[in-house]
Amino acid sequence: MNTLLLLAQAATDAPPQAPNAGLGAFLPMILIIAIFYFLMIRPQQRKEKERREQVSALRAGAKILFCGGMIGTISEVRDATFLVEVSKGVVVEVAKGAVERPLPDKVEPEKK
């Protein structure tokens, strides 16, 4: 019986748990999210913003590269699309979002 009383007294003398222990558990997760944002998400957003600015600055006569790898010359600019000449006499309508990047005027195909 004495041991039971000693155990009960020892249990009541224990210090209370710290209330901010939960924040310490979330701190590593918050740091991982912050690192992920600054190393991956933010640079990708900046790159996409630059691409959109380049596409919005395109005018007729500019050479462009499509996301699919096709190269063409813009013949007409519309609100949401371009009319692009991909071959002599072949004009296709392409969404502005399908343009990967503008190309310099003198692009020569690789010879094999």
What domain range is 38 assigned to?
A: 21-57
Residue 6 counted as domain residue: no
For the stretch 91-107, pLDDT in tens is 999 999 899 889 887 65
Asked whether residue 14 is domain-assigned, the answer is no
Query: Which of 11, 31, 57 is the last residue before a domain boundary?
Result: 57
Q: What residues in the chain have per-residue pLDDT under 70?
A: 1-21, 106-112
Supply the pLDDT for residue 25. 79
In angstroms, what CA-CA distances link 108 with 43, 53, 67, 92?
31, 25, 18, 21
DSSP 3-state percent helix, strand, coil across the chain (nearest 5): 45, 25, 30
Q: Is residue 16 part of a domain?
A: no
In a domain, 50, yes or no: yes
How many angstroms separate the CA atoms of 107 and 111, rounded? Answer: 12
